[in-house]
């Protein structure tokens, strides 16, 4: 059964230019949710953002699970109606089994994310 665990990170809403400049080294994964919106997985609140009006906030609202390629194919892919992007890494966003979700696709597999408020629905539907 899919186990979705709470994810910690920082959410930043700022100008595209400022978000482009956020460094992704130090092990942090920067997920570009929108041109003006990123979720920095395992990021810290003291993140330097070159936008005086940026909104930088701790983001406890996501849960997720890392899946290997076989798990991705077996558990998730049958429940999506959109094509997975071919390139890696890539962030895909859309419904998974009718639940709003995101997939951070890497060469080693994927991180399946959704809002914690939807965790039970997604888990039930991917059972």
Partner 1 sequence: MTAERRIVVDDRPMAFRDGESVAVAVLRTGEHPGHGGTLCLAGDCGNCVAEVGGVAWVRTCQTPARPGMVVRRHPPTGGPRLPAGAQAEAMGEPWAPRVHVQREQADLVVIGAGDSGRAAAADATRDGRRVTVLDAGAGVEVVGIYAGPTIVARTGEGMLHLHAHEVVVATGAAEIQPVCPGNGLRGLLTGRAAERLYAAGMDLGTAVAIGTAPDGVPCTGLAGRLVRFEGDDRVSAVVTLDDDGAQRRTACDTAILGLGRTPRDLLARMTGHPAVRVAGSAARTFDLPPPPAEGVVCPCTGSTVEDLESLWERGFRELELIKRSSLVGVGTCQGGACLPHLRAFIADRTGQAPEPFTARPASRQITLGEAAAGVHVDAFRRTALHDEHLALGARMDRFGGWWRPWHYGDHLAEYRAVREAVSVGDVSTLGKLVVSGPDAVEALERLYPSRVADIREGRSRYVLLLNERGHLIDDGMVLREAEHRFVLTFTSAGAGNAEAWLRDWIKIWGLRVHVLDRTMSLAAINVTGPLATDLLGRLGLAQPPAFLRHVHADVAGVPCHVMRLSFTGEVSYELHHPVDRAVELWRVLLAAGHDLGIAPHGLQALQGLRLEKGHVIVGMDSELDSTPRRLGMDWAVRMDKPEFVGRAALERTAGLPDARRLAGFTMPGPAPAEGSPVTSAGEIVGHVSSSFTSPVLGRAVMLGWLKRSPFPTEVEIDGRPASVVSPPFYDPEGARARA
Alpha-carbon distance of 15 to 37, in angstroms, equals 8
C-alpha distances out from residue 40 to 9, 17, 31, 49, 121, Å:
5, 16, 6, 12, 24
Stretch 57-76 residues interacting with partner 1 (CB under 8 A): 57-61
78 binds partner 1, rule: CB under 8 A: yes
**From 73, 80, 89, 106, residue interacting with partner 1 (rule: CB under 8 A):** 80
Residues whose CB is less than 8 angstroms from the CB of residue 49 and which lie 6 or more positions away in sequence, other chains included: 12, 14, 18, 19, 22, 56
36 binds partner 1, rule: CB under 8 A: yes
Tell me: cis bond preceding 101? Omega within 30 of 0 counts: no
99 binds partner 1, rule: CB under 8 A: yes
125 binds partner 1, rule: CB under 8 A: yes
- At 70 the three-state DSSP class reads helix
**From 1, 53, 70, 107, residue interacting with partner 1 (rule: CB under 8 A):** 53
121 binds partner 1, rule: CB under 8 A: yes
Binding site for partner 1 (CB under 8 A): 6, 11, 13-14, 36-37, 53-55, 57-61, 77-81, 83, 97-100, 115-122, 125
């Amino acid at each position: 059964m899919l186990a979705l665990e709470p994810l910690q990170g920082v959410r930043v809403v700022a100008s595209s230019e400022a978000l482009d400049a956020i460094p992704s080294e130090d092990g942090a994964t920067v997920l570009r949710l929108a041109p003006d919106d990123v979720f920095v997985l395992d990021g810290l609140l003291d993140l330097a953002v070159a936008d005086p009006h940026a909104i930088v906030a701790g983001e406890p609202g996501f849960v997720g699970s890392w899946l290997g390629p076989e798990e991705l194919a077996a558990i998730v892919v049958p429940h999506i109606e959109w094509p997975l992007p071919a390139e890696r890494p890539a962030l895909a966003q859309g419904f998974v089994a009718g639940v709003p979700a995101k997939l951070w696709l890497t060469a080693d597999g994927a991180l399946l994310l959704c809002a914690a408020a939807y965790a039970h629905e997604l888990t039930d539907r991917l059972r």
